[in-house]
Amino acid sequence: MWVITGILLVAILIIIIEVPALWKERQKKELWVFSLLLLIGVGLSIAVGLDANIPNPFDWIALLFKPLSDFMMWLLK
């Protein structure tokens, strides 16, 4: 519970710092991207805070580059 409260407080702080300036200049695209990123950040942080299982992006990268890395390992063996 404390974890979630803390993370939400941080998120509110970030909004207070960044949003007023963007709002004043009516930068719609920036606001959308900003909110999306913040949402991802808050979601991930809460998931980690609650020890939930999060897919690891390094697994995807390893999968994507497996042919090349295997080839390099074979070349240098």
Residues of the shown chain interacting with another protein in the complex, contacts defined by CB under 8 A: 10, 14, 17-18, 21-22, 29-30, 33-34, 37-38, 40-42, 44-45, 48, 54, 56-58, 61-62, 65-66, 68-69, 72-73, 76-77
Would you say the C-alpha torsion 5, 9, 11, 12 has a positive or negative sign? Answer: positive
Nearest Cα to Cα of residue 49 among 12, 16, 2, 13: 2
Nearer to another protein, 4 or 54 (CB): 54
CB 46 within 8 A of CB 4: yes
Least separation in angstroms between residue 9's CB and another protein is 13
